Structure 1
Amino acid sequence: MRQLKAVLSDRGSSYAVSGGAARDRAEVDDFLKALKRDKKFARATHNTWAVLLSDGTPLKGDDGEAGAGQVILRMLEREGLHDHVIVVTRWYGGKKLGGDRFRHVQDCVRAYLDAASV
Protein backbone atom coordinates (compact mmCIF):
# COMPACT_ATOMS: atom_id res chain seq x y z
CA MET A 1 0.00 0.00 0.00
CA ARG A 2 1.32 3.40 -0.97
CA GLN A 3 0.00 6.53 0.75
CA LEU A 4 0.47 10.23 0.17
CA LYS A 5 -0.88 11.99 3.24
CA ALA A 6 -1.85 15.65 3.33
CA VAL A 7 -1.73 16.08 -0.44
CA LEU A 8 -3.73 19.29 -0.27
CA SER A 9 -6.18 21.30 1.80
CA ASP A 10 -8.88 23.80 0.91
CA ARG A 11 -11.27 25.72 3.17
CA GLY A 12 -10.63 23.33 6.03
CA SER A 13 -10.98 20.10 4.05
CA SER A 14 -7.89 17.91 3.77
CA TYR A 15 -7.11 15.26 1.18
CA ALA A 16 -4.88 12.20 0.99
CA VAL A 17 -4.47 9.48 -1.61
CA SER A 18 -3.58 5.79 -1.35
CA GLY A 19 -3.29 2.94 -3.78
CA GLY A 20 -2.20 -0.61 -4.39
CA ALA A 21 -2.77 -3.79 -6.36
CA ALA A 22 -6.31 -5.15 -6.64
CA ARG A 23 -7.32 -7.80 -9.17
CA ASP A 24 -10.97 -8.19 -8.12
CA ARG A 25 -13.65 -6.76 -5.83
CA ALA A 26 -12.53 -8.92 -2.89
CA GLU A 27 -9.02 -7.44 -3.10
CA VAL A 28 -10.51 -3.93 -3.27
CA ASP A 29 -12.52 -4.67 -0.12
CA ASP A 30 -9.39 -6.03 1.59
CA PHE A 31 -7.46 -2.89 0.58
CA LEU A 32 -10.17 -0.60 1.98
CA LYS A 33 -10.33 -2.62 5.18
CA ALA A 34 -6.55 -2.36 5.62
CA LEU A 35 -6.65 1.39 4.94
CA LYS A 36 -9.38 1.91 7.52
CA ARG A 37 -7.39 0.07 10.20
CA ASP A 38 -5.66 3.43 10.51
CA LYS A 39 -8.17 5.30 12.68
CA LYS A 40 -7.46 8.54 10.86
CA PHE A 41 -8.73 7.02 7.60
CA ALA A 42 -11.59 5.23 9.33
CA ARG A 43 -12.83 8.62 10.63
CA ALA A 44 -12.54 10.33 7.23
CA THR A 45 -15.67 11.81 5.74
CA HIS A 46 -15.11 10.12 2.36
CA ASN A 47 -12.89 7.34 1.04
CA THR A 48 -13.69 7.40 -2.69
CA TRP A 49 -12.06 4.81 -4.91
CA ALA A 50 -11.86 3.22 -8.34
CA VAL A 51 -10.12 0.35 -10.10
CA LEU A 52 -10.09 -0.82 -13.71
CA LEU A 53 -9.76 -4.60 -13.75
CA SER A 54 -7.62 -6.29 -16.40
CA ASP A 55 -10.74 -7.73 -18.07
CA GLY A 56 -11.98 -4.15 -18.56
CA THR A 57 -14.49 -4.20 -15.69
CA PRO A 58 -14.69 -0.77 -14.01
CA LEU A 59 -15.40 -0.66 -10.26
CA LYS A 60 -15.86 2.50 -8.21
CA GLY A 61 -17.20 3.78 -4.94
CA ASP A 62 -18.18 7.36 -4.11
CA ASP A 63 -18.57 6.91 -0.33
CA GLY A 64 -20.95 9.88 -0.21
CA GLU A 65 -18.87 12.13 -2.51
CA ALA A 66 -21.14 11.81 -5.57
CA GLY A 67 -19.18 11.51 -8.81
CA ALA A 68 -15.71 11.29 -7.27
CA GLY A 69 -15.26 7.58 -8.06
CA GLN A 70 -16.00 8.29 -11.72
CA VAL A 71 -13.31 11.01 -11.78
CA ILE A 72 -10.74 8.49 -10.49
CA LEU A 73 -11.94 5.84 -12.93
CA ARG A 74 -11.59 8.17 -15.95
CA MET A 75 -8.00 8.94 -14.94
CA LEU A 76 -7.19 5.23 -14.61
CA GLU A 77 -8.66 4.61 -18.06
CA ARG A 78 -6.58 7.42 -19.58
CA GLU A 79 -3.43 6.02 -17.98
CA GLY A 80 -4.30 2.47 -19.05
CA LEU A 81 -3.68 1.39 -15.46
CA HIS A 82 -5.34 -1.95 -14.65
CA ASP A 83 -5.62 -3.94 -11.42
CA HIS A 84 -4.59 -0.97 -9.25
CA VAL A 85 -7.05 0.64 -6.84
CA ILE A 86 -6.68 4.33 -5.99
CA VAL A 87 -8.45 5.80 -2.96
CA VAL A 88 -8.86 9.54 -2.42
CA THR A 89 -9.65 10.37 1.19
CA ARG A 90 -11.31 13.61 2.30
CA TRP A 91 -11.76 15.00 5.77
CA TYR A 92 -14.55 17.56 5.48
CA GLY A 93 -13.65 20.95 6.91
CA GLY A 94 -17.09 22.47 7.31
CA LYS A 95 -17.36 24.44 4.05
CA LYS A 96 -18.79 23.13 0.80
CA LEU A 97 -16.28 23.11 -2.05
CA GLY A 98 -18.69 22.75 -4.95
CA GLY A 99 -17.02 21.69 -8.19
CA ASP A 100 -13.57 22.33 -6.72
CA ARG A 101 -13.81 18.96 -4.98
CA PHE A 102 -13.50 17.20 -8.35
CA ARG A 103 -10.39 19.21 -9.22
CA HIS A 104 -8.94 18.19 -5.86
CA VAL A 105 -9.67 14.52 -6.54
CA GLN A 106 -7.89 14.87 -9.90
CA ASP A 107 -4.93 16.61 -8.25
CA CYS A 108 -4.64 13.81 -5.68
CA VAL A 109 -4.75 11.07 -8.31
CA ARG A 110 -2.20 12.91 -10.46
CA ALA A 111 0.13 13.29 -7.44
CA TYR A 112 -0.22 9.56 -6.73
CA LEU A 113 0.46 8.54 -10.33
CA ASP A 114 3.48 10.86 -10.53
CA ALA A 115 4.92 9.65 -7.20
CA ALA A 116 4.32 5.99 -7.93
CA SER A 117 5.55 6.24 -11.52
CA VAL A 118 2.78 3.90 -12.60
Structure 2
Amino acid sequence: MRILENIISDRGSKYAVSGGPCHSAEEATAFIKELCRTKKFAKATHNSWALLTPEAPLKNDDGEAGAGMVILRMLEREGLPNHLIVVTRWFGGKHLGGDRFRHVQEAVRIYLEDLRTR
Protein backbone atom coordinates (compact mmCIF):
# COMPACT_ATOMS: atom_id res chain seq x y z
CA MET A 1 0.00 0.00 0.00
CA ARG A 2 1.44 3.34 -1.09
CA ILE A 3 0.09 6.46 0.69
CA LEU A 4 0.87 10.06 -0.31
CA GLU A 5 -0.50 12.44 2.30
CA ASN A 6 -1.15 16.19 2.29
CA ILE A 7 -0.74 16.52 -1.46
CA ILE A 8 -3.47 19.13 -2.06
CA SER A 9 -5.04 21.75 0.18
CA ASP A 10 -7.85 24.10 -0.87
CA ARG A 11 -10.17 26.23 1.29
CA GLY A 12 -9.55 24.01 4.29
CA SER A 13 -10.08 20.70 2.49
CA LYS A 14 -7.08 18.39 2.42
CA TYR A 15 -6.37 15.49 0.09
CA ALA A 16 -4.32 12.31 0.12
CA VAL A 17 -4.01 9.53 -2.43
CA SER A 18 -3.17 5.88 -1.92
CA GLY A 19 -3.20 2.68 -3.89
CA GLY A 20 -1.76 -0.69 -4.63
CA PRO A 21 -2.26 -3.94 -6.52
CA CYS A 22 -5.83 -5.20 -6.28
CA HIS A 23 -7.81 -7.80 -8.24
CA SER A 24 -11.39 -7.81 -6.95
CA ALA A 25 -14.13 -5.98 -5.09
CA GLU A 26 -13.31 -8.07 -2.02
CA GLU A 27 -9.65 -7.02 -2.13
CA ALA A 28 -10.72 -3.38 -2.61
CA THR A 29 -12.93 -3.60 0.49
CA ALA A 30 -10.05 -5.12 2.46
CA PHE A 31 -7.71 -2.37 1.20
CA ILE A 32 -10.09 0.39 2.35
CA LYS A 33 -10.56 -1.37 5.69
CA GLU A 34 -6.78 -1.54 6.16
CA LEU A 35 -6.41 2.13 5.15
CA CYS A 36 -9.07 3.12 7.68
CA ARG A 37 -7.23 1.33 10.48
CA THR A 38 -5.29 4.58 10.60
CA LYS A 39 -7.50 6.92 12.61
CA LYS A 40 -6.81 9.84 10.28
CA PHE A 41 -8.23 7.97 7.25
CA ALA A 42 -11.12 6.53 9.25
CA LYS A 43 -12.17 10.11 10.08
CA ALA A 44 -11.91 11.30 6.45
CA THR A 45 -15.03 12.70 4.85
CA HIS A 46 -14.54 10.66 1.64
CA ASN A 47 -12.42 7.71 0.56
CA SER A 48 -13.36 7.53 -3.14
CA TRP A 49 -11.81 4.76 -5.21
CA ALA A 50 -11.74 2.91 -8.52
CA LEU A 51 -10.31 -0.32 -9.89
CA LEU A 52 -10.13 -1.88 -13.36
CA THR A 53 -10.59 -5.66 -13.28
CA PRO A 54 -10.87 -8.01 -16.27
CA GLU A 55 -14.49 -8.72 -15.29
CA ALA A 56 -15.70 -5.14 -14.87
CA PRO A 57 -14.63 -1.69 -13.76
CA LEU A 58 -15.39 -0.98 -10.09
CA LYS A 59 -15.80 2.36 -8.33
CA ASN A 60 -17.12 3.90 -5.13
CA ASP A 61 -17.71 7.62 -4.63
CA ASP A 62 -18.08 7.36 -0.83
CA GLY A 63 -20.35 10.41 -0.89
CA GLU A 64 -18.13 12.50 -3.22
CA ALA A 65 -20.50 12.24 -6.21
CA GLY A 66 -18.64 11.52 -9.44
CA ALA A 67 -15.18 11.08 -7.89
CA GLY A 68 -15.05 7.33 -8.52
CA MET A 69 -15.77 7.86 -12.22
CA VAL A 70 -12.98 10.46 -12.49
CA ILE A 71 -10.51 7.97 -10.99
CA LEU A 72 -11.82 5.15 -13.20
CA ARG A 73 -11.42 7.20 -16.41
CA MET A 74 -7.84 8.01 -15.48
CA LEU A 75 -7.07 4.33 -14.80
CA GLU A 76 -8.56 3.45 -18.20
CA ARG A 77 -6.48 6.12 -19.98
CA GLU A 78 -3.37 4.91 -18.18
CA GLY A 79 -4.16 1.30 -19.05
CA LEU A 80 -3.58 0.26 -15.43
CA PRO A 81 -5.64 -2.84 -14.59
CA ASN A 82 -5.68 -4.57 -11.21
CA HIS A 83 -4.49 -1.48 -9.35
CA LEU A 84 -6.70 0.33 -6.85
CA ILE A 85 -6.43 4.09 -6.41
CA VAL A 86 -8.10 5.82 -3.45
CA VAL A 87 -8.46 9.61 -3.20
CA THR A 88 -9.15 10.73 0.36
CA ARG A 89 -10.66 14.11 1.24
CA TRP A 90 -11.08 15.78 4.58
CA PHE A 91 -13.78 18.44 4.15
CA GLY A 92 -12.61 21.86 5.26
CA GLY A 93 -15.97 23.57 5.71
CA LYS A 94 -16.30 25.27 2.31
CA HIS A 95 -17.81 23.69 -0.78
CA LEU A 96 -15.36 23.44 -3.66
CA GLY A 97 -17.87 23.01 -6.48
CA GLY A 98 -16.24 21.75 -9.69
CA ASP A 99 -12.77 22.27 -8.24
CA ARG A 100 -13.20 19.02 -6.32
CA PHE A 101 -13.00 17.10 -9.62
CA ARG A 102 -9.84 18.96 -10.56
CA HIS A 103 -8.34 18.00 -7.19
CA VAL A 104 -9.30 14.33 -7.62
CA GLN A 105 -7.64 14.35 -11.07
CA GLU A 106 -4.53 16.02 -9.70
CA ALA A 107 -4.32 13.53 -6.83
CA VAL A 108 -4.48 10.61 -9.28
CA ARG A 109 -1.84 12.29 -11.51
CA ILE A 110 0.47 12.66 -8.50
CA TYR A 111 -0.04 8.99 -7.61
CA LEU A 112 0.60 7.79 -11.17
CA GLU A 113 3.73 9.90 -11.45
CA ASP A 114 4.98 8.51 -8.15
CA LEU A 115 4.22 4.98 -9.39
CA ARG A 116 6.26 5.57 -12.58
CA THR A 117 9.29 6.87 -10.68
CA ARG A 118 9.48 4.01 -8.16
Task: Determine the structure 1 residue equivalent to 2:8.
Answer: 8
Distance (whole Å) between structure 2 residues aligned to residue 108 and residue 52 of structure 1: 18
Task: Determine the structure 2 residue equivalent to 1:82.
Answer: 81
Measured after TM superposition, the shift of residue 70 of structure 1 is 0.1
Alignment of 1:21-100 (within 5 A): 21-53=21-53, 55-100=54-99
Secondary structure class of the residue paired with 1:117: helix
Secondary structure class of the residue paired with 1:98: coil
The answer for unaligned runs of 5 or more in structure 1 is none
Q: CA RMSD in A?
A: 0.9
List 4+ stretches of structure 1 deviating above 6 A.
none
Measured after TM superposition, the shift of residue 98 of structure 1 is 0.1
Measured after TM superposition, the shift of residue 56 of structure 1 is 4.9
Distance (whole Å) between structure 1 residues aligned to residue 96 and residue 14 of structure 2: 11
Structure 1 residue identity aligned to 2:109? R
Per-residue CA distance 1:1-60 (angstroms, 9 max, x = gap): 00100011000000000001110111101100000000000000000000001x151000
Per-residue CA distance 1:68-101 (angstroms, 9 max, x = gap): 0000000000000000000000000000000000
Measured after TM superposition, the shift of residue 107 of structure 1 is 0.2
The answer for unaligned runs of 5 or more in structure 2 is none
Moved more, 56-65 or 68-77: 56-65
